[in-house]
């Protein structure tokens, strides 16, 4: 694979996807110290919100330590070069949240939808574009659609005004060819000026390899998180990916050692449990289950005396999608009842 | 008996309007006379024509001149929040009672087992049916807040992708806003939140609804359980496929209830319980208003 001379944008997820791994309890102090370190390392984009995006605070997904407003307004003024993005899932957050994030100074809005449901994003993408924001359409659970069908959904988002489209491997299920074929079809089928992004999860230990395949197929933006702090087995470990890119001659503009330091000295001590590829995360990747279900399933398993991997397998069989966290307790109760 | 029925018009020939028509044709209280659409080729208008309804594809204006002659007393509006305002204004001028199935919410929210009687007694000219998720969950929130104060009520509605029409998709924020505010106003929660998820699984999944309430004080498990079971029976009177799957789960001050809504399979297949719970609730509302109108007519006739 020759990627020499390619230029890509790295986007750090610790302070959004990492919220899942931290039960949405990241403190303002942790936010400041990590965001500042990422900024100094040259990471151009940092995402900050509740793990389930703006307005995600809920019984279903978890109440955060601080509101989105508090997080954004604390971090944004401290950034020297990094820009801040916010995630928004229509059905959970609304355009009111989008306006709030815009007023607080985010540069980028990423509007996320289950990959088959792009038409729920029209209101949000068009407003974001109207406000002059860098506007991303984020197609989640993209393993569930074949490349051509995914392109059709991507084109909808592009037509609403998205200037960048993501192929999002929310379940960490994709293999390298799955990533390559989807990114390639998006690259060839969308407008040349539309950027393409890839968001990976490390549930099959393919975060770095899949991200390289994405770059090879023409991706412009790659998501990852320092030390992998994210849902499931975490996101693509960004400091590792950055080091690999540097070895391969891919330009990221991010300092290898500074990012390593942020991962090792700030993120790892923040972790409530090691972010590693344990059996439950492997089940996510193997069965194609939304990564954010992980900790919810572990908690429900403990409460109802059932096995967490069985909960996750059942959620896979039910073809649940992102947002259906309520089904985790429902499934756990059913499994307990079946035990008699 | 046909003569005793109150004549009604259905506005909007999409999924909701068409399903409502099929149900209204079975009603003993109302008689669907008109179906109003904007697309002559829409499946809903064709079905209405075949069922013997009068149809127009010129929108509300195609109906207005016939209201008096056909003695239309009630109109169901299943168009969109954007056109409902205009439709309502025109219908009100002609003295037609309006049942709003869009998220426009010009009139008061109506969730039949909670406040229908009260609205009918107040002789409201326009009532709003909230949303499918609201109809499926607000009875539960109300059943809990009837027992004790609810600080926070949250609902998660998951519907099959195939059952979500273009209107719902284009205006998904209207769903979350309208539902959240009805959780507060009708459910009685101090603060409401609504979440909607669309799931593309094949075969399509049944509508699922989960209610999470946080009570102000420690929940009275016995009383809350009894209250929830009672209101579920009330909803089942008009939506037989409304079932408690799990719960109520009590966890500290959290009360969670897991529901499934199967439809009758009138227009869309049974998985589209979200359609049925709206149309069945609207029909029940229409029938109760019809009862009241018939009573008024009757008493006038006696004098």
Check if B200 contacts A (Cβ < 8 Å): yes
B189 contacts on A by Cβ (under 8 Å): none
* Model pLDDT, residue B299: 60
State yes or no: pLDDT of B300 exceeds 80: no
A325 contacts on B by Cβ (under 8 Å): 156
* Model pLDDT, residue B294: 86
Contact (CB, 8 A) for B101 and B278: yes
State yes or no: pLDDT of B93 exceeds 60: yes
Check if A89 contacts B (Cβ < 8 Å): no
SS (H, E, C) A282-305: HHHHHHCCCCCHHHHHHHHHHHHC
pLDDT-based confidence at B302, cuts 50/70/90?
very low
A333 contacts on B by Cβ (under 8 Å): 246-247, 249, 258
Share of chain A above pLDDT 70, in %: 100
* Model pLDDT, residue B3: 62
Mark yes or no for CB contact A91/B154 under 8 Å: no
Mark yes or no for CB contact A59/B152 under 8 Å: yes
The model's pLDDT over A192-230, given as tens digits with 9 standing for 90+, comes to: 999 999 999 999 999 999 999 999 999 999 999 999 999
**Burial category of B81 from C-beta neighbours within 10 Å (exposed 0-12, middle 13-18, buried 19 and up):** middle
Q: pTM of the entire structure?
A: 0.95
Q: Which of A111, A300, A330, A331 to mutate to test the interface with B (most CBs of B within 10 A)?
A: A330
Mark yes or no for CB contact B169/A119 under 8 Å: yes
* The residue to which tokens 């399933």 are assigned: A297
Number of domains in chain A: 2
Q: Which of B154, B173, B201 comes nearest A95 by C-beta?
A: B173
Check if B197 contacts A (Cβ < 8 Å): yes
Q: Which of B197, B256, B258 comes nearest A321 by C-beta?
A: B197
Q: Are residues A165 and A303 in the same domain?
A: no
The model's pLDDT over A70-119, given as tens digits with 9 standing for 90+, comes to: 999 999 999 999 999 999 999 999 999 999 999 999 999 999 999 999 99
Q: Which of B170, B173, B251 to mutate to test the interface with A (most CBs of A within 10 A)?
A: B173
Check if A126 contacts B (Cβ < 8 Å): no
The model's pLDDT over A31-67, given as tens digits with 9 standing for 90+, comes to: 999 999 999 999 999 999 999 999 999 999 999 999 9
Tokens of B7: 């004549």
Q: Whole-angstrom Cα distance, residue A21 to residue A31?
A: 14
Q: Are residues A96 and A179 in the same domain?
A: yes
Q: Which ipTM was obtained for this model? A: 0.96
A92 contacts on B by Cβ (under 8 Å): 176, 195
Mark yes or no for CB contact B210/A318 under 8 Å: no
Mark yes or no for CB contact A319/B201 under 8 Å: yes
pLDDT-based confidence at B171, cuts 50/70/90?
confident
Q: Which of A120, A322, A325 comes nearest B172 by C-beta?
A: A120
Inter-chain Cβ pairs, chain A and chain B, closer than 8 A: 102
Q: Are residues A226 and A186 in the same domain?
A: yes
Q: What is the mean pLDDT of residues A153-178?
A: 98
State yes or no: pLDDT of B57 exceeds 50: yes
Q: Is A312 a domain residue?
A: yes
B205 contacts on A by Cβ (under 8 Å): 318-319
Check if B171 contacts A (Cβ < 8 Å): yes
Mark yes or no for CB contact A323/B197 under 8 Å: yes
Contact (CB, 8 A) for A153 and A121: no
Contact (CB, 8 A) for A291 and A236: no
Contact (CB, 8 A) for B195 and A58: yes
Mark yes or no for CB contact B169/A324 under 8 Å: no
Contact (CB, 8 A) for B278 and B268: no
A114 contacts on B by Cβ (under 8 Å): 197-200
* Model pLDDT, residue B298: 64
Instruction: Kindly report the nearest CA distance between residue B157 and chain A, in angstroms.
Output: 9
Mark yes or no for CB contact B166/A90 under 8 Å: no
Q: Are residues A304 and A209 in the same domain?
A: no
Q: Are residues A164 and A311 in the same domain?
A: no
Q: Which of A90, A324, A333 comes nearest B158 by C-beta?
A: A324
Q: Are residues A331 and A205 in the same domain?
A: no
Strands (E), chain B: 6-11, 30-36, 54-56, 72-77, 97-100, 126-128, 150-160, 189-199, 207-215, 242-251, 254-261
pLDDT-based confidence at B179, cuts 50/70/90?
very high
Q: Are residues A237 and A327 in the same domain?
A: no
Tokens of B186: 């009708």
Domains B2-129+278-302 and B132-271 share a fold: no
What homologous superfamily does CATH list for B132-271?
A: Dihydrodipicolinate Reductase; domain 2 (3.30.360.10)
Q: Is A331 a domain residue?
A: yes
Q: Is A4 a domain residue?
A: no
Is the torsion defined by CA of B174, B175, B178, B181 positive or negative?
negative
Q: What is the mean pLDDT of residues A296-312?
A: 97
* Model pLDDT, residue B303: 39
Q: What is the mean pLDDT of residues A216-245?
A: 98
Catalytic residues of A: 20
Q: Are residues A98 and A24 in the same domain?
A: yes
- Which of A127, A121, A128, A55 has the alpha carbon at shortest distance from A92? A55
Fold category of B2-129+278-302 in CATH: Rossmann fold (3.40.50)
Q: Is A281 a domain residue?
A: no
> Taking the domains of chain B in order of start, what are their residue ranges?
2-129+278-302, 132-271
Q: What CATH number is attached to the domain comprising A302?
A: 1.10.8.60
Q: Are residues A78 and A219 in the same domain?
A: yes
* The residue to which tokens 């960490």 are assigned: A172
Contact (CB, 8 A) for B186 and B142: yes
Tokens of A181: 């074929």
Q: Are residues A263 and A301 in the same domain?
A: no
Q: Is A125 a domain residue?
A: yes
Mark yes or no for CB contact B195/A323 under 8 Å: yes
Q: Are residues A237 and A304 in the same domain?
A: no
Q: Are residues A112 and A47 in the same domain?
A: yes
Range of the structural domain that residue A330 is part of: 292-339
Supply φ then ψ for residue B51, to 5 degrees.
-85, 0
Q: Is A94 a domain residue?
A: yes
């Amino acid at each position: 694979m020759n990627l020499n001379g390619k230029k890509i944008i790295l986007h750090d997820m610790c302070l959004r996807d990492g919220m899942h791994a931290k039960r949405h309890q990241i403190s303002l102090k942790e936010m400041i110290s990590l965001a500042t370190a990422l900024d100094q390392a040259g990471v151009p984009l940092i995402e900050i919100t509740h793990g389930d995006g703006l307005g995600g605070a809920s019984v279903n997904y978890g109440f955060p330590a601080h509101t989105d407003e508090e997080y954004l307004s604390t971090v944004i003024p401290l950034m020297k070069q990094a820009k801040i993005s916010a995630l928004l899932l229509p059905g959970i957050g609304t355009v009111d949240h989008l306006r709030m994030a815009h007023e607080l100074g985010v540069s980028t809005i990423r509007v996320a939808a289950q990959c088959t449901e792009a038409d729920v994003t029209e209101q949000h993408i068009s407003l974001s574009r109207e406000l002059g924001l860098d506007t991303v359409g984020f197609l989640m659970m993209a393993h569930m659609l074949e490349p051509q069908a995914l392109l059709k959904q991507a084109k909808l988002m592009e037509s609403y005004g998205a200037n960048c489209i993501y192929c999002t491997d929310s379940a960490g299920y994709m293999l390298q060819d799955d990533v390559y074929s989807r990114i390639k079809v998006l690259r060839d089928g969308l407008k040349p000026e539309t950027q393409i992004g890839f968001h990976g999860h490390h549930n099959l230990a393919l975060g770095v390899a899949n991200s390289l395949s994405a770059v090879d197929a023409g991706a412009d933006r790659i998501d990852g998180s320092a030390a992998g702090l994210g849902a499931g087995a975490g996101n693509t470990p960004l400091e590792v990916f950055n080091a690999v890119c540097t070895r391969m001659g891919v330009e990221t503009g991010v300092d290898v050692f500074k990012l390593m330091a942020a991962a090792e000295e700030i993120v790892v001590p923040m972790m409530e449990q090691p972010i590693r590829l344990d059996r439950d995360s492997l089940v996510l990747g193997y069965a194609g289950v939304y990564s954010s279900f992980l900790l919810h399933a572990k908690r429900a398993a403990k409460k109802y005396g059932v096995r967490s991997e069985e909960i996750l397998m059942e959620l896979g069989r039910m073809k649940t999608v992102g947002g259906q966290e309520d089904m985790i307790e429902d499934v756990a109760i059913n499994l307990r009842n079946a035990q008699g | 008996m046909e003569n005793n029925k109150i004549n009604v018009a259905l506005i909007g020939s999409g999924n909701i309007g068409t399903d409502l028509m099929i149900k209204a044709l079975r009603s003993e209280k109302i008689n669907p006379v008109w179906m109003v659409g904007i697309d002559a080729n829409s499946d809903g208008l064709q079905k209405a024509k075949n069922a013997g309804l009068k149809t127009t594809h010129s929108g509300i204006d195609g109906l207005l001149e016939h209201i008096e002659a056909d003695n239309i007393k009630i109109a169901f509006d299943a168009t969109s929040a954007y056109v409902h305002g205009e439709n309502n204004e025109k219908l009100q001028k002609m003295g037609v009672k309006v049942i709003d199935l869009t998220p426009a919410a010009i009139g008061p929210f109506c969730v039949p087992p909670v406040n229908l009687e009260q609205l009918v007694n107040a002789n409201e000219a326009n009532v709003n049916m909230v949303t499918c998720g609201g109809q499926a969950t607000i009875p539960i929130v109300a059943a809990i807040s009837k027992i004790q104060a609810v600080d926070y009520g949250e609902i998660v509605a998951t519907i099959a992708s195939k059952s979500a029409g273009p209107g719902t998709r284009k205006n998904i924020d209207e769903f979350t806003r309208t539902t959240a505010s009805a959780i507060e106003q009708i459910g009685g929660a101090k603060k409401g939140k609504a979440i909607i998820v669309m799931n593309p699984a094949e075969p399509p999944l049944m509508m699922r609804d989960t209610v999470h309430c946080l009570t102000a004080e420690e929940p009275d498990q016995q009383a809350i359980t009894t209250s929830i079971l009672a209101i579920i029976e009330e909803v089942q009177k008009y939506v037989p496929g409304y079932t408690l799957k799990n719960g109520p789960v009590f966890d500290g001050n959290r009360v969670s209830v897991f529901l499934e809504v199967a439809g009758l399979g009138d227009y869309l297949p049974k998985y589209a319980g979200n359609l049925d719970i709206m149309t069945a609730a609207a029909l029940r509302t229409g029938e109760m208003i019809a009862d009241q109108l018939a009573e008024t007519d009757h008493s006038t006739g006696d004098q």
